[in-house]
Amino acid sequence: MLGLSALQTMPALAQRPRVSRLVIVGGAEDRLQDRLILRKFADHCGGPQARIRLITAASGDPQGVWHSYQQAFNALGVFDVQPLAIYDRDSAQSPEVQAEILQADGIFISGGDQSKLMAILWDSWAYQSLHQSFYLNRCCIGGTSAGAAVMSRHMIAQGPAVLRATKEAVDTDMGLGLLSQAVVDQHFSERRRLPRLLSTLAMRPDLLGVGIDEDTALVIERDVGIEVIGQGSVTLVDPSQMRSNVDELETLESIEMLGVQLHFLPAGHRYHLSTIGQDARSAPLRRAVQRLVTLGPMRA
């Protein structure tokens, strides 16, 4: 495996962004018309000269998904775009794949099945290289749908779009861990997933809930702030002050949740720590943004 000494000898990467960024997409992003989200992602990777690599292992049609993104990025003037040869556990241990990750300016993770993806990536060389590339190389990492779900340490693996918050309605698992204090749900408004996210948070009130609409992205700049881009909104759900009866309930019973704080952030808005007010009314939003921009530990 390539260690830190090998990492330090990697060639300088093209137009390296100044801060580490995550671009977390709620799914169904536009790849054919304005391509706003993919355009922003490419810009954060360094523009036309960027080296962008795709992880399509979550998809049931990895080649078809790859060609779709290749065409989209090429239309944006970015041509050094290649798929990473990650198909199974063995390929995730490949030194060649590891080197490709460490030399990339941007990594984009497609949709599909997040549990399938993490079964391939978990604790592999590719997994460790993603962390090294993000934390040490300031590589921009994006993901859509399943690729968004895996960003958090505590990941929603599966669960129906329940009508109300219900105990143990959602199965969770381990994700990539780039976000350590949040859990992400995608296709949020379109699939009416607020009760699903609340069901998750009732069991894990230490986490911040992040619901992202389709064709919408939450851009997180490490230690700086967040931005919402695209066509929809991002919903932040903070249960840190919540009182709940979840410990008294049986499986699938409805949960009482009191004192939950909700922030609704439309596309086109930025929330940087330097511009959020210091007053008591701004404190809940400041706490939420602080938890997003304070990323988890590097796994190496």
Position 195 confidence tier, pLDDT thresholds 50, 70, 90: very high
Catalytic, out of 124, 133, 145, 233: 145
pLDDT at 6: 41
pLDDT at 161: 85
Position 136 confidence tier, pLDDT thresholds 50, 70, 90: very high
Across residues 135-148, what is the average pLDDT? 97
3-state DSSP call for residue 184?
Answer: strand
- 12 pLDDT exceeds 70? no
Residues 6+ apart with CB under 8 A from 200: 156, 159, 170, 172, 183, 185, 207, 209
Catalytic, out of 110, 129, 131, 214: 214
Contact between residue 173 and residue 180 where contact means Cβ atoms under 8 Å apart? no
* HEC string for the chain: CCCHHHHHCCCCCCCCCCCCEEEEECCCCCCCCCCHHHHHHHHHHCHHHCCEEEECCCCCCHHHHHHHHHHHHHHCCCCCEEECCCCCCCHHHCHHHHHHHHCCCEEEECCCCHHHHHHHHCCCHHHHHHHHHHHHHCCEEEEECHHHHCCECEEEEECCCCCCCECCCCEEEECCCCECCEEEECCCCCCCCHHHHHHHHHHCCCCEEEEECCCEEEEEECCCEEEEEECCEEEEEECCCCEECHHHCCCCCECCEECCEEEEEECCCEEECCCCCCCCCCHHHHHHHHHHHCCCCCCC
Task: Classify 19-293 by CATH class.
Answer: alpha beta
What's the pLDDT tens digit per position in 257-274? 999 999 999 999 999 999
What's the pLDDT tens digit per position in 151-179? 999 999 999 889 999 999 999 999 999 99
pTM: 0.94
pLDDT at 18: 60
Contact between residue 94 and residue 63 where contact means Cβ atoms under 8 Å apart? no
- Can you tell me the distance from the alpha carbon of 18 to that of 24, in angstroms, rounded to the nearest whole number? 19
What's the pLDDT tens digit per position in 62-116? 999 999 999 999 999 999 999 999 999 999 999 999 999 999 999 999 999 999 9
Per the annotation, the verdict on 227 as an active-site residue is no
Contact between residue 217 and residue 289 where contact means Cβ atoms under 8 Å apart? no
- 11 pLDDT exceeds 80? no
Per the annotation, the verdict on 187 as an active-site residue is yes
- Can you tell me the distance from the alpha carbon of 209 to that of 291, in angstroms, rounded to the nearest whole number? 11
pLDDT at 19: 83
Burial class (CB in 10 A: 0-12, 13-18, 19+), 208: buried
- Can you tell me the distance from the alpha carbon of 93 to that of 113, in angstroms, rounded to the nearest whole number? 20
Catalytic, out of 133, 187, 227, 233: 187
Running DSSP on this structure, what letter comes out for residue 205? T
3-state DSSP call for residue 9?
Answer: coil
Per the annotation, the verdict on 214 as an active-site residue is yes
